[in-house]
Every structure is written in structure tokens, then in C-alpha cells.
Structure 1
Amino acid sequence: MKISKIFQDQKTVDFDKLEDNSSSFEGVDVGFCALGTTRAKSGADGFYKVDHDYVVNTAKLAKKHGVKQFILVSSGGANANSPFLYMKTKGEVEKEIEELGFEKFVIVRPGLIEAQRSGDFRFGEFMAKVFITPLKLFSNRFASSANDIAKAMIVASKSEETGKFIWDNVKILEEAKKLV
């Protein structure tokens, strides 16, 4: 699969004034959402505001303006009933966006996201990498690169299928290989 041109222009949006930017959603067919922060960076309230409120409000506005597909980066283990804030928030977001009724809703649930983070050392991520690196020799269930996640999202957007789909880390890596 080759994609020659995906984005015609980029716009900076103030998520606290999302309605002021509603024209940004006009004429858009596919919404891609990979928005998120960490609790360490933003505190529990800030984390919820970014990972839940901003994401759900963006999806609502997209739906209101006729966006047909919504492709969301969530997390492996997302569960609205989890006792853990991160997993619970991700699960709640998935549920609330599903209820909006997009023609196609793809939830991408990677394991550890391998990415270069400039000036942002995350000890927990570093330790997870230490343990996951040898496991990757035997299975592709545990981690994927940010590039592979983006490729899989593009592949998802080009599929003719409609409905709700959940792609785990294995599926992400499988689909990413389809993009040349």
C-alpha cells in the first residue's frame, strides 16, 4: 500500500477552546488521535484532562462535523473498570468514543511505545525496556515503535471495513508492514 499525500495542512488547536476551532474539522474524513500525557508531567487532574477530556471532546466535535472514521491510540490493558487511573481513563475514553457511533472506530492498543523522547527521561519506561527487550526475541506482543503505530493507523484509515476494531500490538506490527 502506498500513500502519496495524506495531510494537506496542519493547524494548531487550543484544546481548552476547542469549539473556537470547529472549522478545522470541516471536510475531514478521518480523525487520528494519539494525544496523551503522563501523570508525572501533569498530575492526576492534568492527566485526566488531556487523556480523557481533550480526546473525547475532540471526537465529539469530529463526529458533529461529519468525520466518518476515528482512529485512536489507547493502551494495552485499557479497562473502564480498572482500579488504576491510567487503564481506567483509557477504557472510559474507548467506551465514550464508541458510543458516538463513527462508521469506523479503530482502537490501537500498543504495548510499550518505543520512541525518542527529547529531554524527557522516564524511569518506568526505561525499566520496562530493560525487561521487554529480551522478550521481543520471542514475541512481538510487548512493544512497538511510534513509527509502526503511525503506519498502522494509516493502513486502518485506508481499509474499506466499517465498525469497531481493536488492534493489539501484534496486529499493529502486522498492519504497519503493509505501508511502503
Structure 2
Amino acid sequence: MKKQFLIVMIFFFSFMITGCNVIEEWKAERIIKEYYQAIIDENYDKAFKQLQLYDYNSKTEIGHFTEGTTLSNKEAKAFYLKKIHVLKEQKYKLIDFEIVEVEYEDGHSFWHHIKLKGEQDGQKFEWREVADIYKGKLVISEKDDPNTKYRDGKMYFEIEELKEN
């Protein structure tokens, strides 16, 4: 009887741990899909709301998403729209995306690998990037797309600095 109880408890706790992670994974996928679809639809207000915003110095490469931004929401949104303007000037258009893999680090921490299809100045591209969720907000990292910096959550730097790089 004790053996059966122990087996049932092991299955129960295993299911609870896995089930909780599945729910977090679904939440992450919802945020990821909302963000990329908003970029495709050019609904930049919606895309902005999905992002984890953080201050970043592109010269020193100092800034971490866990530190947030010193900008007010209004200032951050205006800055984000300036970054989007750079994309529009470069005739950058995201056409499609696909979540191709979910990678687990320790059975609990995970991130999504995203394949992007788009067009820039008439040239088609296919890039990959990694999307993570921090406190319910999207963090984009490990990216191939050199223009990600104009649509991610990095804030409070000179946009002209990025044009030079």
C-alpha cells in the first residue's frame, strides 16, 4: 500500500511540475506570437506593449534587461517609435515568423528559437533569433538580424550610434 501511494505521489508531483511549466510555455508563446504578428501588421503600439524595456549603451554594450529603463512609458514609447522609423527608412518588413524550437536549460528555464522571414529594400531575408520572457515581457537576444536593435526593448541610447555599426 505504501509503495502504491509513493508511486501515485511521484506521478502527481511530476505532473504538477510539468503542468506548471506547460502553462508558462503557453503564456510565453502567446506573448511571442502577439509581438511578431504586431510587427508584421505594423501595429507598433501593440508590439511595444509586449517588450521588456531596458536602458542600453551601444558603445559600451552595458545594459541588462533585468535592470529596466529610466525612461517614462511615454518617453520609452516615443523612443521605440523613432527606432521603428529607422526600419521604415531602410524599407524593412517582417513577413512571417515561426517558433521552431523551445530550448530548456534546467527543466524549468526555457526560451524560444524563432525563424523570421522578411524583406529589406527589396531583398528577402531569413534570420533566426531567440526570444525569452522576463516578468511577462518579451526579451529578444542571440539574433542574426542586424536590425533587431530597432524593434527590441533596448532604450536610452543614441539611434545614430546604431546606424554607424
Tell me the TM-score normalized by structure 2: 0.27
Higher share in strand: 2
